[in-house]
A = this chain, B = another copy of it.
Amino acid sequence: MWGIELQRESGSGIPLSRQIYQQISRSILDGVIPPYEALPSTRELARTLGVSRHTVSEAYDMLLAEGYVCSRQGAPTRVVDGLRLERAAGGPARDEDGTYTQAGVGAETAVGGYAADFKTGQPDLRRFPKYVWTRLQSEAFSQLALEGLGYGSPDGYEPLRKEIAAWLFRSRGIRVPAGHIFVTAGATQALNLLADLLHREGKEFVIEDPCHPGILNLLRNRGFKYRPAPVDEHGLVVEGAEALFRHESGNGDGGGISAVYVTPSHQFPLGGILPANRRIALLRLARENSFYVIEDDYDCEFRYGGAPITPLYALDAERVIYVGTFSKTVFPSLRLGFAILPEPLHQRWRFLRMYADVQCPIVEQAALAEFLRTRKMDRHVSRLRKIYGRRREALLEAVKRRFGRAVLRVWGDNAGLHLALQFAEGRYGKDFSRKARKEGIRLSSVNQYSIARRDQHMDKLLLGYGHLEPEEIRSGIDRLHDFWHRGLPWI
């Protein structure tokens, strides 16, 4: 009846009543069963299909509940008018097995199968105390009060905010009230919310050029305008470029400034430390022009000579918004970071966060609070610092041994997880990276991060090393040298 065919093997997974419902509703949509047609009685259809009346009743209830048919007392149940709908042309293929291969942006973030992988910003996951973390996580979760499972504060888990404040004091000597620390899903989300929070219609963000792609791409995603400001070996150039930091840029664009983004502890990608005079000049401009400065301190924990750089935030907690991350010190898929916000921004931030994703999940926050409270973080970071420092040495030695005087200079302070090599000659752009990748070498050229000042850094290659053992670094440099040597047209 009505062409209904039932799959009775229990393996089909769909209850018989739903199968009946699905086929009748499909027929109604296709116009096979016309409007006003009366449904057969449950007894009749049950007999025809060889199922129980209860099964048919259930199917009819579904059709009724969803408005495919309507019934009136004493009259038969009839098909509602006006339900004809042409089937969608394509739609997801029915036989697709759901296998999905990463492409595009996704692939960039995957841990690759490269013979020489100099991707930047990768901590060494092999050194992470996974066993300790698993235990902390279980303990933290099972000790959590029941309310912890419910919706929490968009500001972050209270004990974690306090532990971050204590950690900032221990590790960087800055005092921050826990109430000014807002937990985020990594630095990325902090920057994303800040873009929305600080954006002023028609005004521009000032960003570094070359710059970290995170901030650049999120501004582009939002359609927010930006001014790329020059960077040299010391980081953002302020003196001589003051016009860029004034509301009237002198370009006749008449725009103002939404905020300034800067990486003062270790400029990405060139590695400079912003000197005090530039810090002061920038803060003066911020005060005169009433803009906020976003300080992205993405890998400040790893400095191999001397003490950690004092954040810009320490100089002016009212004008500087500090953004930190635990992706490098704990692990990236933890997705925890934070922003330190001056009071006037708290209320609006909370509202934005609430409707962005409400809050970070609770487990990670509780586990991280314990990791910090028990000083396991301190020990872990101090161990990593020694390891990464040795790797940097290994990289420099290997480069010197292999490339000799072809490398003019190493850019970047004795810090972080990457450095840049400046070659005596050579033009390294996207093409170079692409061809290298085909040879199993992942690295980028500094030039790929340039915005307005194209081709200014064609002589520099960017190498991440934190995640590589010294042996991997040496063999990677051997491989890179081979490729570089063969590809003489590149230089």
Within 8 A of B (CB), among A359-375: 359-364
- The answer to whether A276 touches B83, judged by C-beta atoms less than 8 angstroms apart, is yes
- The answer to whether A361 touches B333, judged by C-beta atoms less than 8 angstroms apart, is yes
Q: Is A410 an interface residue (CB 8 A)?
A: no
Query: Which of A100, A152, A316 has the most CB atoms of chain B within a 10 A radius of its CB?
Result: A100
- The answer to whether A276 touches B137, judged by C-beta atoms less than 8 angstroms apart, is no
Within 8 A of B (CB), among A82-106: 82-86, 88-94, 96-100, 102, 104-106
- The answer to whether A65 touches B273, judged by C-beta atoms less than 8 angstroms apart, is yes
Instruction: Report Cα–Cα, A86/B188, bound state, in Å.
Output: 32
What's the interface size class on A, roughly? 35 or more
**Residues from chain B with Cβ under 8 Å of A92 in the complex:** 175-177, 180, 317, 342-343
Among B81, B100, B218, B356, point to the contact of A179 (Cβ < 8 A). B100
Q: Is A402 an interface residue (CB 8 A)?
A: no
Among B25, B89, B358, point to the contact of A310 (Cβ < 8 A). B25
**Residues from chain B with Cβ under 8 Å of A336 in the complex:** 361
* Chain A interface residues (CB < 8 Å from chain B): 13-15, 17-18, 21-22, 25, 28-29, 58, 61-62, 65-68, 80-86, 88-94, 96-100, 102, 104-106, 109-111, 122, 125-126, 128, 130-131, 133-134, 137-138, 141-142, 146-155, 158, 161-162, 165, 169-170, 173, 175-180, 184-186, 188-189, 192, 196, 214, 217-218, 221-222, 234, 273-281, 283-284, 287, 305-307, 309-310, 315-319, 327, 331-336, 342-343, 347, 350-352, 354-364, 413
- The answer to whether A100 touches B178, judged by C-beta atoms less than 8 angstroms apart, is yes
Among B93, B128, B151, B335, point to the contact of A361 (Cβ < 8 A). B335
Not counting A138-B138, A184-B357, A363-B363, a sample of 9 additional A-B residue pairs whose C-beta atoms are within 8 angstroms of each other reads A91-B318, A96-B179, A100-B179, A105-B350, A106-B354, A137-B137, A218-B355, A335-B358, A357-B357
